[in-house]
Structure 1
Amino acid sequence: MRKILTIIATLVLLVVIGAGVVNWLGTGDNKPLPGPDQPTTEAEQPDWCPKVEVVAAPGTWESAPNDDPINPTFNPASFMLTVTQPLQQRYTADEVKVWTLPYTAQFKNVNAMHEMSYDQSRQEGTSTLENELRIMNRDCPKTDFVLVGFSQGAVIVGDLANQIGAGHGVIPAERVRGVAVVADGRREPGVGQAQGNPVAGVGAEVSLELLNPLTQAIMPGATMRGPREGGFGVINDRVMDICAPDDHICDAPLGVGNAVTRAQALIAANAVHAQYATNPNVFPGSTTTQWLIDWATGLIDAK
């Protein structure tokens, strides 16, 4: 009798265990994890997503926070428009999204005390650009990016490239096809890939870093932060550095000098800085505009 009871109890236990296994397998929350030889599912790319997004960051006085990022009209003479408009004419919006950063783009100084300070303007532009990249990468995880900035916009783009290259940016490094910074105020020789005629100077923020307290009388709220720690990291070979010889924004003297005089030169009318679209002394036989269009086109068509 004891053996019969033992057999019956064993059978009941097996039935209970079997029912539990069937119930466990039938629930969606207990699906088996992929094994070492079973690939995980890649993020899907919606049909509406472009292959590449070109992001352009204009310089000081070339943008406004309420400007249309797809069809900017605030400053028709903006240098970035000489690059973005030809790209929009070459590619459909389904292939390439061309997005221009809308931000205040001002620089408070003794000649324009009513304007937003450089620090505030730059921070606003950085936040707006980060938001665009973050949303686009979330919605279109396979879309790649080409980033280009001029002057204050180059500082913003360069700072983001620094973060991306260090592995803690708003988009992964593998999604960046290329970066171009034109007249970068934090430029350092040997950081990034120098293009065009060589220049011996450094960015104004690097040149004036040690003199920062003295420059505040000329440029209140404009912190000269020096070079970017770590440069461009793993994307250094994809960052193109362009600076016109004698442009005080990116070709400033290195070493301590007369802070007030150098700060005044920084905010003075700089003909070289305003002529990248036509200046033949950056790319002999061509212009910065044409070089950027050819460079961006090559990246877009590469794959």
Structure 2
Amino acid sequence: MKLLPRVAAAAAVAVIGVGSAGTAYAAPAGPASELVGDSCPALFALGIQGTGESSPDTPATLDTGMLSQVFMPMMVKTTNSAGDTLAGRAYVPYPAGFGGAVPGANVPYSQSVEEGLQNLIDTAAEVAQACPNTVFTGAGYSQGAHVMSMFAKHVGAGEGPIPANKLVGVALFGDPTRAPGSPLFPGAAGQTSPKPAPGTTGAQVEKISAPAQATPEGGGIGPTADTAVAYGSLTGRVASICEPGDLSCDAPANAPIMRAVTNIAGQSELSSGDPIQSLTSISEALALTTIKTAVPVINEDIQGTTLANLSIDPKKSLSERVAIASDPRTEMPTAQEAISAVLKVGTIGFNAVKTVAKEVLTPANIAQLATVGLANPAAGVALFATKLVGAIPKLMPPATTSRLTRQAFDVVKDNISDNADLVSTTALTKYWNTVRAHGSYGSTPVTASGQSAAQFVAEWFAALAKDVAAGTDSSSVTSTPRVTSPTTTAPRTSSSTTPASSGATSARPTSTSPVAAG
């Protein structure tokens, strides 16, 4: 049994802080005017870096981290000899923290993802307002892929700061929200190449060589509530690239307890400088998970009102319930649900007391206890204990004991089978070097021409920019004056209200989930 938490904890640690070192810390990103300059590009790429690769005050145009291997070549491919460019880019700053488990912001993963999503929404809205004719692409790596996936789902559902036809391509590397066995383009079965940007011929995109990797069978290590099976209107324009063996996106399907450990770690502040704070944070996460697990188990899985007719009928395995409860977005039980659980346990307990009372507090026993107790109180207590011990077996008749034993065995068996991949030699061998897999997106060849995943996305985004420019007259696009307004000159903060963009409704995101991904 010690193997399970050890493997799960290793999984959580293995996929954090694998990004490039040397992230600089300088002045925070300014408003849209500082991102697009005096003229608007045909295409603007938004990037969200991995854990430890960003911070709230990292410059938005500083080319570091894994995504620099996408954006730097993209900029080269879209800039002519005169220095005119079809594309712009920004690495949206955010905490990129994991509760102190990696250098950088000492904030829980769940909070980091939430702030990253809001900053991404704000930045997209600002650029869209300044450059209404510009279209967007998005890229995210690891924790940043979690953020970008959530953003794409908002946009694809018509709830983002820009309309879906303005987000022409999204690339996710090592995405914790990846659905188990998801193809390269989630929700678009059989699609092997990127779709053209809406309103273009796609002539340049057609030339792109798509990745030819085998589809990993696992899924993202994030909470099931965040799993992205498809992206609404964006389905087919979102690519989820996952290196086999990368636990952030290819975690074993049969390991819900790993997800639970990861979620709890993602809610915690793991500060090495303040162990008491760390323990308190972990305890709070565990306590909330316990409450959110226990109430539905009592109300839904336990049947009967006495120990004699008690039975266990699990609607979900205990591992699944814990994994769901560990997601901080899983709501606490309502007061009525909690009261119902307490009353149910109380009723079972009361009926058990009645059964004992019927056996112990008979007129004959009372007379015997009174006679012995008056003469020798100590002997009276001993006699009462003897009567009580003799009555307890009647709470659980042999037939009931056998039934409950069998049901309890089934519960344990189901939890072992649910987590079979944690004790599977084949499964564990696959992840022996997950750190290497998680950091390979800029180096491992994935296309027939030998390109890495990062190089493929750089080519894809550059092709989108060229197609968009060709459809609108590239000379006018790259020199379109930026629209100035008070909203584009105000500093952006993570708590700001999202400005509305042309043709779309802007909405603040709901709180997001923690996960142990880099």
Is TM > 0.5 for Structure 1 vs Structure 2?
yes
**Which of 170, 186, 194 in structure 1 is aligned with 2:177?**
186
1:283/1:48 CA distance change after superposition, 3 Å: same
Deviation of the 1:101 alpha carbon? 1.2
Which of 215, 221, 226 is the equivalent residue of 1:204? 221
User: Any gaps of 5 or more consecutive residues in structure 1?
Assistant: 1-45, 210-224
SS at match of 1:128: helix
Contact residue 192 and residue 240 of structure 1 kept, 8 A: no
The superposition leaves residues 66-90 of structure 1 with CA deviations (integer Å, 9 ceiling, x where unpaired) of 1111224xxx4x1111111222333
Matching residue within 50, 56, 67 for 2:58:
67
Distance change in 2, residues 1:299/1:109 (3 Å) = same
Deviation at 1:259, TM superposition (A): 2.9
Taking the aligned partners of 2:154 and 2:137, their CA distance within structure 1 comes to: 15
Secondary structure of 1:297's aligned partner: helix
Which of 115, 139, 144 is the equivalent residue of 1:124? 115
- Contact preservation (8 Å) 1:134, 1:170: yes
Is 1:247 aligned to 2:238, yes or no? Answer: no
**CA displacement 1:188-230 (0-9 Å, x = unmatched):** 1152557441211110015xx4xxxxxxxxxxxxxxx4414x7
**How large is the Cα RMSD of the aligned pairs?**
2.9
1:51 aligns to what? Answer: 42
Q: 1:232 offset after TM fit, Å?
A: 0.3
Q: 1:115 to 1:168 in 2, by over 3 A?
A: same
Q: Name the counterpart of 1:286.
A: 451
Name the residue aligned to 1:27.
none
Q: Which amino acid aligns with 2:126?
A: I
* 1:1-303 matched pairs, under 5 angstroms: 48-72=39-63, 76=64, 78-90=65-77, 91=79, 95-108=86-99, 115-188=106-179, 189-190=182-183, 191-192=186-187, 195-197=211-213, 198-206=215-223, 209=224, 225-228=225-228, 231-259=230-258, 263=262, 270-280=435-445, 282-283=446-447, 285-303=450-468
Q: Distance in 2 between matches of 1:127 and 1:186?
A: 18
Work out whether residues 48 and 94 of structure 1, in 8 Å CA contact, stay in contact via their aligned partners in 2: no
**d(CA) in 2 for partners of 1:47 and 1:111?**
38
> Structure 1 residue 59: deviation in Å?
0.7
The Cα of 1:258 is off from its aligned counterpart by 4.5
Kindly provide the CA deviation profile for residues 120-167 of structure 1, in whole angstroms up to 9, marking residues without a partner as x.
111111111110101111221111001111111111111111011111
Identity of aligned residues (%): 27
Aligned residues: 234
Amino acid in structure 1 at the alignment position of 2:245? D
Retained in 2: the 8 A contact 1:204–1:252? yes
Q: 1:142 to 1:62 in 2, by over 3 A?
A: same
Which amino acid in 1 is paired with 2:232?
Answer: G
CA distance in 1, matches of 2:133, 2:161: 14
Q: Is the 8 A contact 2:54 2:94 kept in 1?
A: yes
Partner-residue secondary structure (3-state), 2:437: coil
8 Å CA contact retained: 2:136, 2:166:
yes
CA distance in 1, matches of 2:120, 2:105: 25
Structure 1 length normalisation: TM-score? 0.69
For the 8 Å contact 1:204–1:250, the answer to whether it is kept is yes
Question: Using the alignment, how far apart are the partners of 1:158 and 1:141 within structure 2?
Answer: 23
Q: TM-score, normalised by structure 2?
A: 0.42
CA spacing shift, 1:163–1:68, aligned 2, 3 Å: same
Distance 1:125 1:162 in 2: 15
More helix by share: 2
Distance 2:244 2:116 in 1: 27
Query: In the alignment, residue 153 of structure 1 is paired with which amino acid?
Result: G
Closer, same or farther in 2 for the Cα pair 1:257/1:125, shift >3 Å? closer
**Mean Cα displacement is larger for which, 106-115 or 54-63?**
106-115
The unaligned stretches of length 5 or more in structure 2 are: 1-36, 193-210, 266-427, 469-518
**Does the Cα contact within 8 Å between 2:442 and 2:452 map onto a contact in 1?**
yes
On the 8 A contact 1:192/1:238 being kept in 2, the answer is no
Q: Which range moves more in the overlay, 53-62 or 186-195?
A: 186-195
